[in-house]
């Protein structure tokens, strides 16, 4: 399960919940089949389709040396109808 970094919760990714699609950041070296296997095994769901793209690297200057941030791959995972990932669909309650 070390290939999946974290779920992405942006305005666009939250709107994709209605289409039964979830957005995850994964390690750049992970393959689509590995990610599909991990998601199906860990969450107990069936994956229909997967779309992926690499995020652009951002530069970071550390005095005279120019560095870059970590590379991640973003996956948009479509689940079969009737399946969902409950921890991502929970709304935050106000106190």
Distance in angstroms (rounded) separating the CA atoms of residues 41 and 1: 9
CATH code of domain 4-55+71-83: 3.30.70.330
Q: Any idea where the domains of the chain sit in the sequence?
A: 4-55+71-83
Query: pLDDT digits over 32-78, tens only?
Result: 999 999 999 988 999 999 999 988 888 888 888 888 877 789 999 99
Instruction: Choose among 91, 72, 93, 94: nearest CA to 9.
Output: 91
Neighbours of 50 (CB within 10 A): 16
Predicted pLDDT of residue 94: 44
User: What b-and-e string marks burial along 64-75, b requiring 16 or more CB atoms within 10 Å of the CB?
Assistant: eeeeeeeebbbb
Tokens encoding 91 = 């709304």
Predicted pLDDT of residue 70: 75
- Is residue 5's pLDDT more than 60? yes
């Amino acid at each position: 399960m070390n290939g999946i970094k974290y779920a992405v919760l942006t305005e666009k990714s939250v709107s994709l919940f209605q289409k039964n699609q979830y957005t995850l950041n994964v390690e750049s070296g992970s393959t689509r089949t590995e990610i599909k296997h991990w998601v199906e095994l860990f969450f107990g769901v069936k994956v229909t389709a997967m779309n992926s793209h690499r995020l652009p690297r951002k530069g970071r200057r550390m005095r005279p040396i120019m560095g870059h941030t970590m590379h991640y791959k973003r996956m948009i995972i479509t689940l079969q109808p009737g399946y969902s990932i409950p921890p991502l669909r929970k709304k935050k309650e106000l106190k």
